[in-house]
Copies of this chain bind each other. A is one copy, B any other.
Amino acid sequence: MTAAANHHGRRTTTRTRRLERAGIRDVAAAAGVSITTVSDALNGKGRLPDETRTKVREVAERLGYRPSAAARTLRTGRSGLIGLTVTTYGQEPFTFTEFAYFAEMARAATSAALNRGYALVVLPASSRHDVWSNVALDGTVVIDPSDHDPMVADLYRQGLPVVSDGKPGNCPVTAWVDNDHHAAVLGILDHLAQAGARRIGLLTGTSTDTYTRLSTEAYLGWCRSVGQEPLYEAYPAHDPCAGAVAADRLLARPDRPDAVYGLFDPNGTDLLAAARRYHLRVPDDLLLVCCSESDVYAATEPPITTLSLKPRRIGTTVVNLLIDAIEGHTSENPSPTDETATDRRVSGQLMPTELIVRRSSQRRPPRTTVSAPRPPGEE
C-alpha cells in the first residue's frame, strides 16, 4: 500500500501525463495488495490462495492491464522472439517467398514457433544492422548459411542459439537440419537412368551454399560411378533470367543431354521452354526433373516430375530444435568463447525428400514408341 501510494504520488506530482497505460503498480494499488502479489497472481507463481489470485486477475482485467513486454524481457532475459534469417543473394531486395520453398518453410516455422509460445520475425541477413541489434532475439534460425557466414558467427558469439536449415559449411551452430541431398540426387539420377536416360545433364548454381554444393557433388560422384561424362551448366541462382539462358545453353550443346535435372524452382519451366525451342519433345526426347515445391508443375504440358524437400517438416523441426536449445540450457550455455570445451558436438539431422513422379520423367514403353502420339483425352 505504501509503495502504491508512493507511486501514485510520484506520478501526479512530477508529471501530468494523460492516459497512462495501467502498470502493475496501478493494479496493486487498486487491488490493495503488493506488486509482488500481483506479479505472482498473474503468472501463476508464488503461494497464494485462489481467492487472492482471482481477485487480482479480475482487477487487472478491469483496468485493462497489459504487462510491458519490454520490461519483462529486460528482467527475465527472454523475449519470446526468434529470428528467421534468410541469406539474401547479391543485392536482390528480398527474395523471401520468391521460391515456394522459403514461403512454405517460413510458414511452418512461424506456426511451430507460435505453438510453443514464441513469435517469429523474419530478418534478411542483408538488412540494416540497426534493425538487427534493435530486436531482442532468444535465438535464430538461419536458412542455408554460406561458408564462414559472418552473421552466424556474430550471433553465436553473442551466446544466442543458432539452428540452421542446411548443413552449415564452416560456421558454428547449435544444431542443424538438412535434407539428404546426396541420397535425393542419387535417387533422381537412378530414376532417370531407369527411364532410359543415357546422358543426364544438370542445371546447377554458382553459389557456395550447402544445397548447391552437395547436390553437385552427388551428381559428379554418380557420373564417375556410372562412367558418364558430366554435363552441367552453372548460373547465379538468384537471377531468373540467367536460369533461362543456362537452360538454353545446356540444350544447345553438341553433346546434348537426353535428361536434365534442375536444382532450382524455375528450372522446370525454363527447361520446358528451351526444349520447345529446340523441338525436343518431353518426355520422348528429353526427360525432365526439377526441384520445386510449386504445384504449377502438376499443370504444365507435360506435367513435370519434381523433388520436394518437404519444407514444412524442415521448418517445424528447425524451430523445435531451436526452442529446445533456448529452453534447455539457457544458463548452461557452454560459453562460446571457451574454445577448449569439447562439448562442441553439433547435433545434425537429415530429413527425407519426396520425389513426385509425373509424365516428364516417364517413357511409357521404354524405348520403342519414342514418337508415338498419345491418345487424346487421356487426362
Say whether A58 faces chain B, with CB atoms less than 8 Å apart.
no
Given the known A-B contacts A97-B97, A107-B96, are A158 and B114 also in contact in the complex, defined by CB atoms under 8 Å? no
A352 in contact (CB, < 8 A): no
Cα distance, A72 to B64, chains bound together (Å) = 24
- Known A69-B133, A110-B122, A120-B122; contact A97-B103, beta-carbon cutoff 8 A: yes
The answer to whether the Cβ of A355 comes within 8 Å of any Cβ in the partner chain is no
Chain B's nearest CB lies how many Å from the CB of A66?
5
| A136–B19 CB distance below 8 A | no
Q: Chain A interface residue count: which class? A: 35 or more
- Contact between B67 and A70, CB atoms less than 8 A apart: no
Contacts of A114 in B (CB 8 A): 94, 123-124, 127-128, 131
C-alpha spacing A131/B122, complex, angstroms: 16
Question: CB < 8 Å: which of B64, B94, B128, B338 contacts A111?
Answer: B94
Interface segment out of the listed A47-55, A210-218, A292-300: A292-300
A130-B117 contact in complex given A107-B96, A107-B97, A337-B19, C-beta closer than 8 Å:
yes
Number of copies: 2
Interchain CB contact under 8 A, A136 and B70:
yes
A96 contact set on B, CB distance < 8 A:
107, 110
Bound state CA distance, A74 and B67, in angstroms? Answer: 12
Which of B73, B104, B134 is within 8 Å of A117, CB to CB?
B134
A80 at the interface (CB under 8 A from B): yes
- In the complex, what's the smallest C-beta–C-beta distance from A109 to chain B, in angstroms? 10
Q: List B contacts of A337 (CB < 8 A).
A: 19
State the CA gap A297–B52 with chains docked (Å).
Answer: 60
Interface hub of A67, A74, A93, A119 (most chain B Cβ within 10 A)? A119
C-beta contact mask, A205-236 vs B, less than 8 Å → 1, else 0?
A: 00000000000000000000000000000000
**Residues of B close to A296: CB separation below 8 A:** 295-296, 299
Q: Which residues of A contact B (CB under 8 A)?
A: 18-19, 21, 64, 66-74, 79-81, 93-94, 96-97, 103-104, 106-107, 110-111, 114, 117-124, 127-128, 130-131, 133-136, 157-159, 295-296, 299-301, 335-338
Ordered nearest first, which 10 A-B pairs have the shortest CB separation? A70-B73, A69-B136, A70-B74, A80-B134, A121-B121, A94-B111, A97-B107, A70-B136, A114-B127, A19-B335
